[in-house]
Amino acid sequence: MPRTKLIAANWKMYKTPEQTREFFRDFLPLVSGHSRDEIVVCPPDVDLASALDSAKGSNVAVGGQNVHWKQEGAFTGETSSAMLLALGVTHVIVGHSERRQYFCETDDTVNLRLKAALEAGLTPICCVGEVLEEREAGLTDDVLRRQCVRAFHAVSARKASKLVVAYEPVWAIGTGKTATAELAAEAHAVIRREATEVFGEEFASKLRILYGGSVKPENASTLMAQEEIDGALVGGASLDAKSFAAIVKY
Ligand code: 13P
């Protein structure tokens, strides 16, 4: 069975609640009736309520950009799965490279966050990817394998049924450099092999692996044509309604 593609917007630290409403006002008519792919927008936490309100009854789901592993507690600046669920959020990004790079996110905390998201019934989009030095040193496959093994640690195939992985080569994020479709497909194959080892073949054959890193309307169709690429995680080009709609409709 072909895997339904997931096209996700990661807005990072962009847009106010008002700008979020404006985006949805422009975006929803452009993708109304689009049922080929699953569409998700992940705004900053302060915009979640506006996004959910704007997207109500539409074919666009709303996701968070991070989730803590505890339900509540003295963890300044964090958001729990219970809080996301209470709002009506269905998806959440976990382990984005910017979290790893700038906020000391480690493979271990990615694992804790991933488990919390799955436990709560959220659809986690778990990000992995190598930095430029690792690629140049021929370490890409090792890095991807390590990140996957550590992220999936103590997660059962049954619990992981909603898991989505995003391959985001760090050197391609926000740089305008996209991995070639073939190069991305190779990395996806490494991730799928790792998922086969951990969760078994049946699970791995259904696992959706997204590509992220300078996805634009101009390169979306080439990337999405790869059998191994099951969708996209889009940063910069998702901030504009027309451009994100063009990617959704690749
Ligand atoms: P860009 O699309 O801006 O390169 O960002 C990719 C990304 O980090 C999505 O999570």
Question: Domains, the chain, ranges and CATH?
Answer: 6-248 (3.20.20.70)
Residue percentage of the chain with pLDDT more than 70: 100
State residue 176's pLDDT score: 85
Ligand 1 centroid from CA 74, angstroms: 31
Average pLDDT over residues 73-96: 98
- Tokens 């219970």 appear where? 82
Model confidence pLDDT, tens digit, residues 3-26: 999 999 999 999 999 999 999 999
How far is it, in rounded angstroms, from Cα 192 to Cα 210? 11
CB 40 within 8 A of CB 63: yes
Mean pLDDT of 158-186: 92
Does the pLDDT of residue 213 top 90, yes or no? yes
User: Ligand 1: distance of its center to the CA of 195 in Å?
Assistant: 23
Helix H or strand E segment including 235: none
Task: Phi first, then psi: give them for residue 30, nearest 5 degrees.
Answer: -75, -25
CA distance 98 to 173: 10
Which of 13, 65, 96, 168 maximizes ligand 1 atoms within 8 Å of its Cβ, making it the mutation to test the pocket?
168
- State yes or no: pLDDT of 1 exceeds 80: no
Within a 10 A sphere around the Cβ of 156, how many other Cβ atoms? 12
What pLDDT shows up at residue 177?
85
Structural tokens at position 110? 């990615």
**Helix locations, the chain, DSSP H:** 17-31, 48-55, 81-87, 97-102, 107-120, 132-136, 140-151, 181-199, 201-206, 217-224, 241-248
- Token pair recorded at residue 124: 């986690």
Stretch 75-102: mean pLDDT = 98
The whole-number pLDDT of residue 121 equals 98
pLDDT recorded at residue 165:
98
40 in Cβ contact with 9 (< 8 Å)? yes
For residue 201, the model assigns a pLDDT of 96
| Mean pLDDT on 97-114 | 97
User: Whose C-alpha lies nearest to ligand 1, atom 7?
Assistant: 235
Q: DSSP characters for 181-222? A: HHHHHHHHHHHHHHHHHHH-HHHHHH-EEEEESS--HHHHHH
Beta-carbon neighbour count of residue 29 at 10 Å? 12
- Of ligand 1's listed atoms, the one at least distance from the Cα of 12 is 10
pLDDT of 195 reads: 97
Q: What is the pLDDT of residue 174?
A: 87
Q: How many percent of the chain have pLDDT more than 90?
A: 96
Is 8 close to ligand 1, i.e. is its CB under 6 Å away?
no
> What is the average pLDDT value for the chain, to the nearest integer?
97
